[in-house]
Amino acid sequence: MSLTAKKADQQGDLSDDQRIINAMHTFVNDFGLTAATYMESCVKCGLCAQACQFYVTTGNPKYTPIGKIRPFQQAYDRHMGPFAPVYRFFNLVPAVTLKELKYWQELIYDSCTLCGRCTLICPMGIDIAELVKEARHGMFEAGLIPERLALMDRTTVAWGSPATPAEDFAEIIEEISQEYDVPINVDKEKANILVTLAPAELGDHTKAVADMAKILNSIDADWTLCSDGFEASNIGFINGDLALQKKLTMKLIETAQRIGAKTLVLPECGHAYGAARWEAARWYGGPVPVNVVHMTEFLDDLVSTGKIKLDHVDETASFHDPCQLVRRGGVTKAPRQIMEALGLDLIEMEDSGSFGWCCGGGGGVVSNTRADKLRHKVFDLKKKQFEETGAKRLVTACGQCRITLTMGAKHINWNQETDSLLELVANNLVT
């Protein structure tokens, strides 16, 4: 394996030896029965390669998904596998080096969005995306993650959010309320519904906050945002800082319990869905005492039960499936049912639903500016498939996907906007 790669970032003043020790210690501690089964199951068939947009668009073999877990596999074989003592004694599997870890940084942070398409295609059922997520944990503990992501991690630790300090939250929401002339509830002591936000909605997508309030107010919902529990991002999983992710996710659950909320609504962010919907139970220690739903599921329920009525748009549209919401989360029908209620003529892309291609910016790639050149290259795949549909509108239900698609279009001067499903509903709400 050639170890020629872009310069790796590192954090802290750890010695080289300590970085290796931290990574290996974390890898070994993270190896459970499931991970071990995955490691022993790979038959090196190569099918996962054709499922990865980074490999498909570049043709570079280093971007094959199974190659992205090589040092993780090496650590398993040497320290935890059934033949580990033999491998160590005869040095049949060498120890992972710092050079390998630094080379690896690009593969699991710059060229992996944790989209899970490789997982879906694997004939042995190996969840490669989950292994990459676990591998990032070891890299974080070794202080070997992209500096842009490390900065976001430090900001979140200090503020409780990568977007804004909690003490500024209510003021920012009031500004959004005034800008769009929509009443927005903040910090009610008791409410039936706790609504959460993603960082983009406090920056690029403030209209989504106002539109969410508009819809909830239209049905006289008992709802609120809370300054001490609003951040619904996946920054910990993206960086490998699992302790931070647990803190962020549990803060949402605890806030919902404190105000007596029965429903916790996650924003139009696919990665937030994975952390709060699927991971919260293991940190809580049992069934979570609040119904956690994505905004898309919430809107679908309002439409299907007749609580809201929508005007018809009567245009052609194609839907970009957010990986963490659809492929990893199973929310496939809800957005399509909402689009049908909007009167949109849905034209599916060649690869859609669970098999849809990632926007190219998930897993922190869009925030990792070091990966911009590679991200722009894989954007062409999504652009081509959308253009082949001939649809007028490109719709999605994830704020991060919308940012990535918008940035990709701007980079190549492509005159195609990406619509938020939430904003389409609010724009066509019958009041």
The answer as to whether 68 is a domain residue is yes
Helix (H, G, I), strand (E, B) or coil at 225: strand
Domain range spanning residue 265? 150-302
Q: Where are the beta strands (DSSP E) in 246-346?
A: 263-266, 291-294, 316-320, 345-346
Query: Are 109 and 196 found together in one domain?
Result: no
Q: Domain ends where: 79, 114, 145?
A: 145
C-alpha–C-alpha distance, residues 421 and 369, integer Å: 27
For 170-187, b/e burial (b = at least 16 CB within 10 A) is bebbeebbeeeebebbbe
Instruction: Quickly tell me which residue has 């911009």 as its tokens.
Output: 372
Is 418:391 a contact under the CB 8 Å cutoff?
Answer: no
C-alpha–C-alpha distance, residues 153 and 148, integer Å: 9
Averaged pLDDT in 10-residue chunks for the chain of 431 residues: 70 97 93 88 92 96 91 91 94 95 96 96 94 95 97 95 94 98 98 96 95 98 97 92 95 97 94 87 90 98 98 97 95 98 98 96 95 95 97 96 96 97 98 85
Cα angle at 358 between 319 and 422, to 5 degrees? 40
Look at residue 4 in the predicted model and tell me its pLDDT: 55
Please compute, for residue 384, the number of CA atoms within 13 A of its CA located in the half-sphere on the CB side: 11
Q: Rounded to the nearest 10 degrees, what angle do helices 16-30 and 70-79 cross at?
A: 80
Helix (H, G, I), strand (E, B) or coil at 409: helix
Is 53:358 a contact under the CB 8 Å cutoff?
Answer: yes
Query: Are 190 and 141 found together in one domain?
Result: no
C-alpha–C-alpha distance, residues 49 and 29, integer Å: 28
CA distances from 384 to 320, 388, 389 (A): 13, 6, 9
Residues β-bridged to residue 265: 195, 293
CA distances from 93 to 35, 88, 245, 311, 335 (A): 19, 7, 33, 63, 48
Residue 390 sits in a domain of what CATH number? 3.40.50.1860
Look at residue 399 in the predicted model and tell me its pLDDT: 93
The answer as to whether 73 is a domain residue is yes
Contacts of 100 by beta carbon, 8 Å cutoff, 6+ apart: 3, 70, 71, 74
The answer as to whether 6 is a domain residue is no
Q: Domain ends where: 92, 127, 145?
A: 145
Tokens of residue 294, six digits: 């994505």
Cα angle at 267 between 262 and 269, to 5 degrees? 135
Is 397:422 a contact under the CB 8 Å cutoff?
Answer: yes
Query: Are 117 and 191 found together in one domain?
Result: no
Total of domains in the chain: 3
Query: Are 288 and 174 found together in one domain?
Result: yes
The answer as to whether 319 is a domain residue is yes
C-alpha–C-alpha distance, residues 190 and 224, integer Å: 8
Residues β-bridged to residue 1: none
Q: Domain ends where: 120, 145, 170?
A: 145
C-alpha–C-alpha distance, residues 63 and 55, integer Å: 5
Query: Are 157 and 293 found together in one domain?
Result: yes
Residue 129 sits in a domain of what CATH number? 1.10.1060
Of the chain, the end-to-end C-alpha distance in Å amounts to 62
